[in-house]
C-alpha cells in the first residue's frame, strides 16, 4: 500500500464514504497520540477509519471508533484495537471545533490518515450530514456525467 501523492505524503487509509454521507465545510490536519504497537500496525496498513468520528472530552478532541489492528509481535504491551485516541490540535483549533459542534450542529469526521515527514497525521473534516435526497441527487449527477462522457467517446 505505497500510495504517494505529489506533496510527499504516504496515504495509509481513506474514508471514501465520508464525502457521500457528509457535506464538508473545512479540512484540518491533526496529529494522533499513538502507542508503539499502534504505530507499527499503522505502518503495516492495518487501520480502518470508515466508521470513526471525533468528539470533545475534557477540552480535548478524541477519535472514537477507529480500528487499529493489534500488532502480532508486541506480546504483553499490545494495544486495544478499538481504543479512543487523542488528537493533537492547538487550543485555538479545539475551541473552534467545539463551538461549531455545539452551536451549528456539525460533526468531525476523519477523511484520510497519512504519514507526513515520518509522523502519523489524520485529516479531519468539519461536516454536516446529507439527507437521503441529497445522496440521490449526487448519485444521479455522477451517473449522468459518466453516461455523458460515454456518449461523447462513442460519437467521436
The CATH number of the domain where 16 resides is what?
A: 2.40.280.10
pTM of the predicted model as reported, rounded to 2 decimal places? 0.78
- Residue 26, domain member (yes or no): yes
* Of residues 116, 110, 119, 123, the one with CA closest to residue 34: 119
- Residue 152, domain member (yes or no): no
Per-residue cell: 145: 456525467
The predicted structure's pLDDT at residue 1:
47
d(CA 73, CA 67): 18
Which residues form the domain of 31? 3-130
- Residue 148, domain member (yes or no): no
- Residue 102, domain member (yes or no): yes
Q: Are strands 67-68 and 47-48 parallel, antiparallel or unpaired?
A: antiparallel
- The answer to whether 27 and 125 have CB atoms below 8 angstroms apart is yes
- Residue 153, domain member (yes or no): no
pLDDT lower than 70: segments of the chain: 1-7
58-69 confidence digits (pLDDT tens) = 989 999 998 888
The predicted structure's pLDDT at residue 41:
87
- The domain total for the chain is 1
- Residue 118, domain member (yes or no): yes
- Residue 144, domain member (yes or no): no
- Residue 145, domain member (yes or no): no
Amino acid at each position: 500500500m505505497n500510495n504517494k501523492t505529489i506533496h510527499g505524503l504516504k496515504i495509509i487509509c481513506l474514508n471514501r464514504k465520508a464525502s457521500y454521507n457528509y457535506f464538508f465545510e473545512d479540512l484540518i490536519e491533526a496529529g494522533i497520540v499513538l502507542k508503539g504497537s499502534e504505530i507499527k500496525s499503522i505502518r503495516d496498513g492495518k487501520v480502518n477509519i470508515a466508521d470513526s468520528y471525533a468528539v470533545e472530552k475534557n477540552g480535548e478532541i478524541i477519535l472514537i471508533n477507529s480500528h487499529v489492528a493489534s500488532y502480532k509481535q508486541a506480546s504483553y504491551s499490545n494495544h486495544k484495537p478499538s481504543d479512543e485516541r487523542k488528537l493533537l490540535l492547538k487550543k485555538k483549533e479545539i475551541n473552534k471545533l467545539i463551538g461549531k459542534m455545539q452551536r451549528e450542529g456539525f460533526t468531525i469526521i476523519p477523511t484520510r490518515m497519512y504519514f507526513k515527514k515520518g509522523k502519523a497525521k489524520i485529516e479531519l473534516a468539519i461536516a454536516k450530514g446529507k439527507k437521503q435526497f441529497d445522496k440521490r441527487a449526487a448519485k444521479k449527477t455522477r451517473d449522468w456525467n459518466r453516461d455523458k462522457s460515454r456518449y461523447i467517446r462513442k460519437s467521436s
